[in-house]
Amino acid sequence: MKGLVFFDEDRCKGCGLCVPVCPKDVIRMADRINVRGYPPAEAVEPERCTGCGLCARMCPDTVIRVYRQTPARAGKG
* Separation CA 60–CA 48 (nearest Å): 23
- Cβ-contact 47, 15 below 8 angstroms: no
**Prediction pTM value:** 0.84
Helices (H) and strands (E) in the chain, counts: 2, 4
Amino acid at 43: A
CATH class of 2-69: alpha beta
3-state secondary structure (DSSP) of residue 64: strand
Where do the domains of the chain lie? 2-69
DSSP state, residue 39 = P
Could you read off the pLDDT tens digit of each residue along the chain, which spans 77 residues? 799 999 999 999 999 999 999 999 999 999 999 999 999 999 999 999 999 999 999 999 999 999 998 777 766 55
Within the chain, where are the H helices?
A: 18-21, 54-58
